[in-house]
Chains A and B, each alone.
Chain A
Amino acid sequence: MAKPLPQQCPATFRKAQPAAAKTGHIGPTIFRSTDLGKTRKEAAKPPAFAKAPEGEKGRAVDHTFWLTPAHADEPNVWYAGTSPQGLFRTEDGGVTWEPFSIVSDDPQFRAWMGSVQDGTPDGPKMHSIIVDPRDPSHLYFVMSSGGVHETTDKGRTWTPLVEGLSVVEGFDAANLVSHDPHCVRLCATNPGRLYQQNHCGIYRLDRPGTRWDRIGKAMPAEIGDIGFTMVVHPRDDNTCWVLPMDGGTVWPRISLQGKPSVFVTRDGGQSWRKVANGLPKQRAWWTVKRQAMAADAESPVGLYFGTTSGELWSSRDEGRKWETMARHLPEIYAVETATPA
């Protein structure tokens, strides 16, 4: 266990926390809360693409999918990823949002984003926006589909980071639109280490290296290494948890035979162990989405995940035993932990 490095300014220590909203019938927006959700006020200018020139069909934000607080030195800055895919930034705590960098309208990025058919069923996602806690100019973002991308100059230039990643059989790995990274996490105690749950495997990348190592090959063969979510230990860069879907199919949305299990590695992915005590032993036909699993900073670490069927599960002992915290909620898209000051 290592002492934590200076972190991204945690969301709960910020004056305002944004939350994305979309009802399905009216357009998307962002609400801000300065009292941990007791009251919310709408952003004056939510994320929106630039108006297209006359005669061209421009894009419209369907929903904001991802929100990341920026570096601790930028307490009023947040980044947002949208669907269709776009990258946005606020410098006033979420009141006004502007397109960030070239990403949303650059022809090469637009080609990598692909069409609506190249994304998840409810739209392609810009997600896993990661800020290096050592350097506010060093960012990652991830496109599903479209690959992992990195900048070291605060968005002036970007470099794809997909070497070593597999794609679905029959697709061209050289074309970034084929890449579908589901979730990328940075280790709090070692910002040079990234973990990834991809549509095609579980990976680890140790910087300054550029080649992802498929650590999911050490998962039990009958389980495979396909899934959506992944969380890393807040103090141990060798420990992370995944909740795999059925690796025997190409587009799985449920665990193998309806028996969900969490798997943990304590050695950086060389080996995995099932931690499922308390989880349903059969007929659990639900999905855990990419944002729907989280860890707190307690010791031992508390783990939490939400299901598409509206159950919230928790473990107070790093996954050894699981219990339900809540049932009969709507579909759960995202779970975050917070520590009120």
Chain B
Amino acid sequence: MKVLIPTPLRSYTNEREVDAEGATLAAVLADLDRRYPGLRFRMIDEQDRMRAHVRFFVNGVQTFDLTHPLGPADSVQIVQALSGGSCGRRQ
């Protein structure tokens, strides 16, 4: 399946979109780590928790569940969540 990689992690893949396999989101992330060593730990901590500023979407719908089932026709989008900034008036 296709996986969209966020800009801060493209130093691992050198591509915006890559292929990965797996029956769950966890399996896909493990496959990505095999293909691009070190990539998973930047997104998932040693307690298997999603890091605070990394978000996962399956077919455009956000999920917080690493056991989320996936099929070959699904697509995964990994997004860097931004935080901070100002609540001030927009120009």
Interface residues of A (CB under 8 A from B): 23-27, 29, 42-44, 46, 48-52, 57-61
Contact = CB atoms under 8 A, between A and B. Distances in A.
A282 to B, nearest CB: 30
Interface residues of B, number: 19
Given A42-B38, A44-B38, A26 B8 contact: yes
A48 B47 CA distance: 9
Contact of A29 (B41, B53, B80): B41
B37 A44 contact: yes
A26 B38 contact: no
B54 interface: yes
A26 B38 CA distance: 12
A27 B33 CA distance: 14
B38 A58 contact: no
B49 A27 contact: no
Given A42-B38, A48-B41, A23 B8 contact: yes
19 contacts: A24-B53, A25-B81, A26-B9, A26-B53, A26-B80, A27-B42, A27-B43, A27-B44, A27-B45, A44-B37, A44-B38, A48-B41, A49-B47, A51-B48, A57-B47, A58-B47, A60-B45, A60-B47, A61-B46
Contacts of A43: 38
Given A44-B38, A46-B41, A61-B45, 14 more contacts: A24-B53, A25-B8, A26-B9, A26-B53, A26-B80, A27-B44, A48-B45, A49-B46, A51-B46, A51-B48, A57-B47, A60-B45, A60-B49, A61-B46
A25 B9 CA distance: 10
B35 to A, nearest CB: 14
B51 interface: yes
B11 to A, nearest CB: 9
A48 B82 CA distance: 24
B13 to A, nearest CB: 13
A187 B80 CA distance: 45
B53 A58 contact: no
B46 A25 contact: no
B58 to A, nearest CB: 20
Most buried by A among B8, B45, B82: B45
Nearest to B52: A25
B83 to A, nearest CB: 8
5 residue pairs, one from A and one from B, having the closest CB atoms: A60-B45, A48-B46, A26-B42, A58-B47, A25-B53
Nearest to B84: A24
A52 B43 contact: no
A51 B46 CA distance: 6
A17 B88 CA distance: 44
Most buried by A among B37, B38, B51, B82: B38
